[in-house]
């Protein structure tokens, strides 16, 4: 059992996600930074889909009521056990009675706590992920609250030696710019050529509306090609006949502020979508904070698939490193 | 010409038409139904929508270009002839001009095209009706087809089965609301919707549905197999009810005894397209027989 003494800003139970229900309007939810989440599970010897805690901006205070093996991965929200700093990206063991807390966020936005065995909550549509908007999954469909008691599950495959520490090359790197790769497409034909160009030229600032549902960006107004609105679309130039939104798609209601739809987003609607963040860079997006700047970089489908392969290779190397 | 577009490395989006019509909606249904039956490896989600559809796939199992080739082939080969839609005709009780959506409508007046009237008054006026009662009559006279499910779990986009010149059309709010009450009945573009849960939204608000369309606890009989009630292809009749009936239904929902009035029904696109009004009359006859 893990007792929640302070829940932090927004701490939720997440696994790989609720996959395969998009057609009824159910978003996948799940860990927003899949890489950090996956590596966390590898470091504690868990099944790939074991549930972890996703911690946002401000960490919780958790008291372990049994011995456990844990790993903390993701953004730099420095963890402490009984007030003493402990390393991230490393297999740690905690004793019954130990208290895990976090310092203020230094880099990134989200950190993952993996516990050997996983966090045990009921499976809803084959997933333990929390989807707060509809109140399903995770801890009673909501973020953690003070006094919650989390059960440690049995989703463990193997033991990992305490002190197993990932080399820097497998940790998140916050030194570069926030470049988010996208594949242009969907209804991008609605944008003027100039707006398409400007979208990629300029920097976009993340607004305070940046959460698991989506990120909204400030920059400049984008313009749409003139047309007579098709039947059923609605009168605004940014309206289309309501259609499906891919996860990671970017829409621009009224041309004013682009919105990137993320794990808990709506699955469809009536706004023009112009491009889609590639799956690997959704992880990067999840580590960007309000007021930070991002730049969108256009890649073609082969480059997107290449990035995906490299990502998978990296995860495989981590797996081999930890297994050694 | 349909557009085939990448949605990143995991989605293909196919826009069959920029404008809405029953015919193109049936096409999307027919293509996605065939795709489902073909059991193509690597497909994760098949999401038919109003005039388009979307596929989520695993590129490790099927290259997006191979998937697009497959979809183009389906576009060629799938015909509406012989395509049958297994559907349900459902009575959807709606309390128009209810106090809850009225409060929401008033709260977000500054985001609306016409702050001086209600959504219902505004929609009646721009659609050429003399009164809001006439608009309610037009909405409730003929049934709708659930042409797409999504936005949030279970939300049905509903398209009325009447000739185009008779379709009601309204704009969405100038700026979306940050709040919509649970079960609100709204209208945007040419679509009626019921919001399953409380949340953001941009459709004009006309009333509240008495019965739920999403139930996470799955207590009610109609939710035994799924938390979401509406299915694409369902034929929904919105029926105007009084506050008394609304309260009676709410009590049944609370007691766990509520069941939708509905009939199973299989139909073909031709039946609808040949004479939407005759089809609609037949549907209503079956529902209340």
| Tens of pLDDT, residues A227-283 | 999 999 988 999 999 999 999 999 999 999 999 999 999 999 999 999 999 999 999
DSSP conformational letter for A196: H
Contacts of B16 in chain A (CB under 8 A): none
Decide which of B260 and B178 is more confident: B260
CA distance A67 to chain B (A): 34
Q: Which residue has the tokens 């139970």?
A: A13
pLDDT value at position A276?
98
Mean pLDDT of A9-18: 98
B73 plus B105 within the same structural domain: no
B143 plus B219 within the same structural domain: yes
CA distance B247 to chain A (A): 24
| Beta-carbon separation of A23 and B6 below 8 A | no
Nearest to B54 among A233, A244, A307 (CB): A244
| Beta-carbon separation of A268 and B11 below 8 A | no
| Beta-carbon separation of B150 and A244 below 8 A | yes
Does residue A177 have a pLDDT over 90? no
Q: Which two tokens stand for residue A20?
A: 């395969």
**By the 8 A CB rule, do B162 and B151 touch?**
no
CA distance A20 to chain B (A): 5
For chain B, the domain total comes to 2
Taking CA–CA distances from B7, the nearest residue in chain A reads A276
What residues make up the domain containing B21? 3-79
In chain B, beta strands by DSSP E: 3-7, 11-15, 43-48, 52-57, 85-96, 144-149, 156-160, 177-180, 184-188, 191-194, 199-201, 204-209, 235-240, 262-267
A205 burial class (0-12, 13-18, 19+ CB within 10 angstroms)? middle
Provide the terminal-to-terminal Cα distance of chain A, rounded to the nearest Å.
Answer: 30
Nearest to A23 among B46, B152, B157 (CB): B46
| Beta-carbon separation of B51 and A235 below 8 A | no
Does residue B176 have a pLDDT over 90? no
CA distance B284 to chain A (A): 24
Cα dihedral angle (B206, B211, B217, B223), rounded to 10 degrees?
Answer: -120
Does residue A176 have a pLDDT over 90? no
pLDDT value at position B96?
98
CA distance A94 to A53: 16
pLDDT value at position B174?
83
B61 plus B199 within the same structural domain: no
Does residue A324 have a pLDDT over 90? no
Contacts of B50 in chain A (CB under 8 A): 232, 241-243
SS3 at position B153:
coil
B161 plus B234 within the same structural domain: yes
CA distance A108 to A285: 9
pLDDT value at position B266?
98
Contacts of B154 in chain A (CB under 8 A): 24-25
> What mean pLDDT value characterizes chain B?
96
B10 plus B112 within the same structural domain: no
* CATH fold of the domain at A179-307: Cyclophilin (2.40.100)
B138 plus B205 within the same structural domain: yes
B52 plus B169 within the same structural domain: no
Contacts of A239 in chain B (CB under 8 A): 171-172, 189
Mean pLDDT of B37-63: 97
Does residue A74 have a pLDDT over 90? yes
Q: Which two tokens stand for residue B52?
A: 């388009």
> What mean pLDDT value characterizes chain A?
97
Question: B84-141, pLDDT tens digit by residue?
Answer: 999 999 999 999 999 999 999 999 999 999 999 999 999 999 999 999 999 999 999 9
Does residue A141 have a pLDDT over 90? yes
pLDDT value at position A166?
98
Task: Please identify, among B28, B49, B79, the residue that sits at the C-terminal boundary of a domain.
Answer: B79
B47 plus B134 within the same structural domain: no
| Beta-carbon separation of A23 and B48 below 8 A | yes
Does residue A122 have a pLDDT over 90? yes
B55 plus B90 within the same structural domain: no
Q: Which of A268, A273, A280 is the best mutation test for B, with the most CBs of B within 10 A?
A: A268
Q: Which two tokens stand for residue A171?
A: 């940790």
CA distance B159 to chain A (A): 9
Of residues B239, B238, B233, B237, the one with CA closest to residue B272: B233
CA distance A261 to A259: 6
Taking CA–CA distances from A308, the nearest residue in chain B reads B9
Residues 6+ apart with CB under 8 A from B184: B100, B101, B104, B194, B195, B201, B205, B207, B208, B209
Written as one string, the DSSP assignment of A4-20 is EEE--SEEEEE-S--TT
DSSP conformational letter for B163: -
Domain locations in chain A? 2-173, 179-307
CA distance A17 to B27: 31
Does residue A155 have a pLDDT over 90? yes
CA distance A279 to B64: 14
Q: Which two tokens stand for residue B199?
A: 């949340």
Does residue B286 have a pLDDT over 90? yes
CA distance B50 to B32: 12
């Amino acid at each position: 059992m893990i007792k929640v003494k302070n829940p932090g800003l927004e701490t939720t139970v997440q696994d790989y996600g609720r996959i395969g229900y998009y057609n009824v309007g159910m978003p996948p939810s799940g860990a927003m930074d899949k890489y950090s989440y996956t590596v966390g599970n590898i470091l504690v010897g868990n099944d790939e889909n074991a549930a972890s805690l996703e911690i946002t901006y401000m960490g919780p205070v958790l008291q372990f009521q049994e011995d456990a093996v844990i790993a903390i991965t993701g953004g730099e929200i420095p963890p402490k056990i009984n007030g003493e700093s402990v390393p991230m990206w490393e297999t740690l063991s905690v004793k019954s009675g130990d208290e895990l807390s976090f310092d203020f966020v230094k880099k990134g936005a989200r950190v993952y706590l993996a516990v050997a065995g996983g966090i045990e909550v009921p499976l809803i549509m084959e997933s333990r992920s929390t989807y707060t908007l509809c109140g399903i999954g995770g801890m009673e469909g909501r973020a953690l609250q003070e006094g919650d008691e989390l059960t440690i599950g049995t989703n463990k495959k193997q033991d990992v030696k305490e002190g197993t520490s990932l080399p820097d090359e497998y940790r998140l790197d916050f030194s570069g710019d926030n470049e988010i790769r996208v594949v242009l497409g969907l209804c991008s034909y609605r944008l003027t050529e100039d707006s398409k160009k400007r979208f990629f030229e300029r920097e976009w600032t993340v607004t305070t509306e940046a959460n698991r549902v989506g990120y909204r960006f400030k920059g400049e107004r984008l313009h749409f090609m003139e047309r007579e609105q098709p039947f059923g679309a609605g009168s605004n130039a940014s309206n289309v006949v309501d259609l499906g939104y891919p996860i990671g798609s970017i829409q621009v209601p009224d041309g004013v502020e682009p919105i990137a739809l993320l794990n808990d987003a709506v699955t469809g609607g009536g706004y023009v979508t112009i491009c889609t963040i590639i799956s690997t860079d959704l992880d990067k997006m999840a580590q960007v904070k309000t007021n930070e700047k991002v730049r969108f970089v256009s890649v073609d489908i082969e480059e997107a698939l290449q990035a995906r392969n490299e990502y998978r290779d990296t995860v495989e190397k981590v797996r081999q490193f930890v297994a050694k | 010409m349909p557009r085939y577009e990448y949605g990143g490395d995991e989605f293909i989006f196919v826009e069959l038409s920029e404008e809405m019509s029953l015919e193109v909606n049936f096409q999307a249904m027919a293509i996605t139904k065939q795709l489902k039956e073909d059991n193509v490896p690597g497909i994760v989600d098949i999401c038919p929508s109003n005039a388009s559809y979307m596929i989520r796939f695993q590129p490790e199992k099927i290259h997006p270009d191979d998937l697009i080739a497959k979809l183009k082939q389906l576009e060629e080969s799938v015909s509406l002839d012989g395509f049958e839609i297994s559907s349900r005709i459902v009575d959807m009780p709606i309390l128009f001009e209810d106090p809850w959506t009225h409060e929401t409508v008033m709260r977000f007046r500054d985001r609306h095209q016409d702050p001086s009237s209600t959504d219902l008054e505004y929609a009646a006026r721009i659609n050429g009706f003399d009164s809001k009662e006439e608009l309610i009559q037009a909405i409730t006279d003929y049934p709708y087809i659930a042409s797409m499910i999504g936005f949030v779990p279970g939300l049905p986009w509903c398209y009325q089965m009447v000739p185009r010149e008779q379709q009601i059309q309204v704009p969405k709010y100038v700026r979306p609301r940050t709040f919509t009450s649970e079960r609100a009945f709204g209208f945007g573009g040419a679509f009626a919707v019921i919001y399953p849960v409380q949340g953001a939204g941009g459709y004009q608000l006309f009333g509240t549905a008495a019965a739920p369309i999403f139930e996470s606890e799955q207590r009610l009989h109609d939710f035994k197999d799924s938390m979401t009630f509406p299915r694409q292809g369902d034929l929904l009749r919105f029926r105007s009810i009084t506050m008394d009936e609304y309260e009676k239904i709410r009590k049944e929902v609370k007691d766990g005894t509520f069941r939708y009035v509905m009939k199973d029904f299989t139909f073909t696109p031709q039946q609808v397209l040949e004479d939407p009004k005759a089809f609609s009359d037949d549907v209503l006859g079956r529902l209340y027989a």
